[in-house]
Structure 1
Amino acid sequence: MELMGDIAGKKVLDLGCGDAEFGVELLKQGCVFYEGVEGSLNMVQKAVSVLDRTTSKIHHSSMEAWDFPLDHYNLVVSRLALHYLENVEPVFKQIYNALTEDGLFVFSVQHPILTSSVQSATKSARTDWIVDDYFHTGKRVEPWIDEEVVKYHRTTEDYFKELKNAGFTIEELSECSPRRENFKSDEEYARRMRIPLFLIFACSK
């Protein structure tokens, strides 16, 4: 939210919008139109219900297959979704073309330190983490409740280069340094200070 700045009067596209609760918040803050793209039909149905009677629209589509309109949005956001794409550069280029002049693209991904090795995904409330195969990018298969989830590991440098290749100027980068007021205990705050969970880019057209 800090990296997006004032969104009053802006048209916003949310890629991987999930249940669109985030869209409700953006509309409350004054965005004039919220549009979401979501690959899960269950989430699309939830999003449509959540956004009933608002200036919004939800599309059931993958990011790769969706037909982006040209020069249409002031702001494009994506929260913890792009690390599920095998190839992000074509999507970055589509986003660039869909933004108006001086438009902003803000997205978060799981931090590459965590996606590098699936061994760090097999235990909750960790007190140690394994960083391995960092520069061997590509497919990772993680266990998730009796299922397997496919993610694609990229380095921070990879994201930077692919954004530059798409034409973006990187304005800000954040690793979401923890703030004590967001944690109920000193112990959990101290644990979260040990390793970054998220990586966020804010990029301008």
Structure 2
Amino acid sequence: MRTEYRGSTVYDNEEFFKKYIDRRYRNDSPNILIEKPVLFELLEDVYDYDILDLGCGDASLGIDLLKNGAKSYLGIEGSKKMVQNAILNLENSSGKIEHSTMEEYAFPESTFDLVVSQLAIHYIEDFSKLSQNVYKTLKFGGRFIFSVQHPLLTSSFESMTKNGKRNNWIVDDYFKTGKRVEPWIGEQVVKYHRTIDEYFSTLQEAGFVINKIREPMPQKQHFTDEEEYNRRLRIPLFLLFACTKPL
């Protein structure tokens, strides 16, 4: 039986990590062309913010936030290899990294103006507990902004068993939430499927006011390949939430 990687552990697999970095920063990466522009729309002004980044990866987001005037940046990351890369990336900045998972991190009370997470929360089994911890660690009026893999994709990974670029996607078992195993970059990676309603309800139950929900639509000006642009119009890849801890 092949290893099932949970959380960020897959990034400590040397071969996977190299392939992931190549994939993540390729010219037609949907993370860069589709998800990132909308994330920054939701972030708006971060000047003088104390920021916590959950599942920060190599801290590339942290670099941008600090350049945009953030007062402090703390990235939480469970993968040793990602932490090493994040430390190097933040070497000439005030940003800091803590080697910890989101589940194990001790969230200090009323500390941050913004908690952000970029495509990491779908690795977490207990989203309710995480939402409560984020609510606790935010200052009143603080914001929680995050992106996840769209639930239309996490409902079924059957489409990903085929090689080559997909032009059709299977949506199945949408309302059967919970653990999924995705065949991704040659490995078996555990993710957790939730409906949009479950994300929304869980955030409300934690006390958040949900300000915006976005399903980023590809923008033609971000693509040099029209065929790739049209392919990305077929299905939403990402889901983003912007929430506030009320005053």
Structure 1 length normalisation: TM-score?
0.97
Q: CA deviation at 1:53?
A: 3.4
Check conservation: 1:114, 1:120, Cα contact below 8 A.
no
Aligned equivalents of 1:54, 1:18: Cα separation in 2: 16
* Paired AA for residue 187 in structure 1: E
Structure 1 residue runs of 4+, over 4 Å off?
none
Aligned equivalents of 1:189, 1:36: Cα separation in 2: 32
Matched, 1:186 2:220: no
Gaps of 5+ in 1: none
Alignment equivalent of 1:4, drawn from 35, 43, 56? 43
More helix per residue: 1 or 2?
A: 2
Q: CA deviation at 1:191?
A: 1.1
Q: CA deviation at 1:104?
A: 0.5
Per the alignment, in what secondary structure is the counterpart of residue 51 of structure 2?
strand
Q: CA deviation at 1:142?
A: 1.2
More strand per residue: 1 or 2?
A: 1
* Paired AA for residue 92 in structure 1: S
Comparing 177-186 with 36-45, greater Cα deviation is found at: 177-186
Q: CA deviation at 1:101?
A: 1.0
Per the alignment, in what secondary structure is the counterpart of residue 177 of structure 1?
coil
Mapping 1:91-102, distance limit 5 Å:
91-102=130-141
Alignment equivalent of 2:142, drawn from 93, 103, 119? 103
* Paired AA for residue 118 in structure 1: F
Gaps of 5+ in 2: 1-39
Match of residue 54 from structure 2: 15
- Superposed CA deviations along residues 96-141 of structure 1, whole A, max 9, x for unmatched, are 0111111000000000000000112334421101000000011111
Alignment equivalent of 2:158, drawn from 105, 119, 123? 119
Per the alignment, in what secondary structure is the counterpart of residue 203 of structure 1?
strand
Aligned equivalents of 1:92, 1:121: Cα separation in 2: 30
Aligned equivalents of 1:204, 1:151: Cα separation in 2: 26
* Paired AA for residue 133 in structure 2: Q
Report percent identity of matched pairs. 54
RMSD: 1.0
* Paired AA for residue 239 in structure 2: L
Per the alignment, in what secondary structure is the counterpart of residue 148 of structure 1?
strand
* Paired AA for residue 191 in structure 1: R
Comparing 8-17 with 47-56, greater Cα deviation is found at: 47-56
Matched, 1:197 2:220: no
Aligned equivalents of 1:167, 1:188: Cα separation in 2: 40
Q: How many residues align?
A: 205
Q: CA deviation at 1:26?
A: 0.7
Alignment equivalent of 2:127, drawn from 62, 67, 88? 88
Per the alignment, in what secondary structure is the counterpart of residue 14 of structure 1?
strand
Structure 2 length normalisation: TM-score?
0.81
Mapping 1:157-172, distance limit 5 Å:
157-172=197-212
Aligned equivalents of 2:42, 2:242: Cα separation in 1: 6
